[in-house]
């Protein structure tokens, strides 16, 4: 009888431990990372790179990445907001989403998330297909000024970083930003297909998304949005090409709303451990990203400031009414 009681108590204890271990924000459950865009783009690339670095830093950790494309990430944002209190979920986001919230008049905003960490910054690159008649940025600008509607531009979501770069380039070239023929895509893979299929005149994206295709000769780089040339791609800056445009994209993680302090700390500690891993450092170097790690209140303050800044920029460019 005593042995049966002991066995029952052991079973109850094990069940209790299992329940605790599978709870929200426990730090030992399967971590899911949402990439709120189609496969092949910057958020997808960042999500999968982070997942591999997390597995390297903590081999026992199960990490799953899934995609929720559409509307500049705001469809994924709405889904995240519906996961209140879920401490085993992260969403990759960044400057693109800040603009998309305004552009799409999203009912759910980034104020309804839990900021976890800013990860990287990345400069943008302007490319044309290898067969393009535009050999330099000056060639492209000349044709663009002559007929703005003729120059179709492929990039990410409307109101996102790529769209902002196209608008700033137009403004610097003396072209009304409202005349920009911008074709939005839900992921870098779709924009790449449009370029490789010669369906558009030019493309704008993060350097990491197009660098390999520039190196292989499938695309020609006309300029980067950095203040100086970067090592990861052979390209002049936009300023060298005559357009005074400089802009860095950034990416980070947010979590669902309503997390308790323990769940928030678990996620922050886990992402910090990932950031400190050699796998992540190697990926940052390989992709030409800039390490801009921030957590806690520092990232929350940065995110709030970015929302104010981007809202002003896209309003000036006529991207929102």
Give the pLDDT score at 231: 87
Contact (Cβ atoms closer than 8 angstroms) between residue 296 and residue 76: no
What pLDDT digit, counting tens, does each position of 273-291 carry? 999 999 999 999 988 899 9
Q: What is the pLDDT of residue 212?
A: 92
pLDDT at 288: 80
- Residue 57: predicted pLDDT: 93
* pLDDT of the residue at 144: 98
pLDDT at 5 over 70: no
Distance from the Cα of residue 229 to its chain's centroid = 22
pLDDT above 60: residue 1: no
Residue 104, SS3 per DSSP: coil
Q: For 65-116, how does the pLDDT look when each residue is reduced to its tens digit (9 = 90+)?
A: 999 998 889 999 999 999 999 999 999 999 989 988 988 889 999 999 999 9
- CA dist., res. 152 & res. 70, Å (int): 21
Report the alpha-carbon distance of residue 127 to residue 154 in Å, rounded.
Answer: 10
Across residues 178-196, what is the average pLDDT? 88
Helix, strand and coil in the chain, % to nearest 5 = 45, 20, 30
Q: Could you give the domains of the chain? A: 31-121+250-317 (3.40.190.150), 123-241 (3.40.190.10)
Distances (CA, A) of 130 to 196, 213, 278: 8, 10, 36
| CA-based radius of gyration for the chain | 22
Residue 232: other Cβ atoms inside 10 A: 21
**Cα–Cα distance for residue pair 36/50, rounded to 1 Å:** 15
pLDDT tens digits, 256-265:
999 999 999 9
Residue 277 pLDDT = 97
* pLDDT band at residue 295 under the 50/70/90 scheme: very high
Is the entire prediction scored with pTM above 0.85? no
Could you read off the pLDDT of 125-172 as tens digits, one per residue?
Answer: 999 999 999 999 999 999 999 999 999 999 987 788 899 999 999 999
- Single out the residue of 42, 317, 320, 41 nearest to residue 169, CA to CA: 317
CB-based contact 61:33 (threshold 8 Å) = no
Q: What pLDDT sits at residue 317?
A: 77
pLDDT digits (tens, 9 = 90+) for 215-267: 999 999 999 999 999 988 999 999 999 999 999 899 999 999 999 999 999 99
Q: What phi-psi label fits residue 301: left (phi over 0), alpha (psi between -120 and 50 degrees) or beta? A: alpha
**Which DSSP string do the residues of 178-219 spell out, in sequence order?**
GG-EEEE-SSHHHHHHHHHTT-SSEEEEEHHHHHHHHHTTSE
């Amino acid at each position: 009888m005593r042995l049966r009681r002991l066995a029952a108590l052991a079973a109850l204890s094990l069940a209790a431990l299992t329940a605790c271990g599978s709870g929200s924000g426990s730090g030992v459950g399967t971590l899911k990372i949402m990439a709120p865009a189609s496969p092949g783009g910057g958020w997808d690339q960042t999500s999968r790179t982070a997942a591999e670095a997390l597995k390297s830093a903590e081999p026992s950790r199960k990490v799953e990445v899934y995609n929720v494309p559409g509307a500049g990430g705001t469809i994924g944002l709405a889904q995240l907001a519906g996961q209140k209190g879920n401490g085993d979920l992260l969403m990759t986001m960044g400057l693109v989403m800040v603009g998309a919230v305004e552009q799409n008049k999203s009912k759910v905003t980034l104020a309804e998330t839990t900021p976890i960490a800013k990860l990287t910054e990345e400069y943008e690159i302007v490319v044309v297909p290898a067969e393009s008649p535009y050999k330099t940025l000056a060639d492209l600008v000349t044709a663009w000024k002559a007929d703005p509607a003729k120059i179709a531009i492929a990039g990410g979501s409307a109101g996102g970083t790529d769209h902002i770069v196209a608008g700033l380039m137009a403004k610097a070239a003396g072209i009304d930003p409202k005349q920009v023929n911008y074709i939005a895509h839900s992921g870098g893979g779709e924009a790449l297909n449009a370029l490789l299929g010669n369906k558009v005149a030019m493309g704008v994206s993060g350097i990491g998304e197009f660098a390999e295709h520039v190196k292989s000769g499938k695309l020609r780089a006309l300029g980067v949005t950095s203040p100086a040339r970067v090592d990861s791609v052979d390209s002049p800056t936009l300023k060298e090409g005559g357009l005074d445009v400089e802009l860095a994209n950034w990416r980070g993680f947010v979590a669902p709303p309503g997390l308790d302090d323990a769940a928030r700390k678990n996620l922050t500690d886990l992402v910090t451990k990932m950031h400190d891993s050699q796998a992540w450092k190697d990926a940052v170097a390989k992709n030409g990203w800039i390490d801009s790690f921030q957590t806690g209140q520092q990232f929350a303050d940065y995110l709030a400031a970015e929302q104010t800044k981007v809202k002003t920029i896209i309003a000036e460019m006529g991207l929102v009414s």
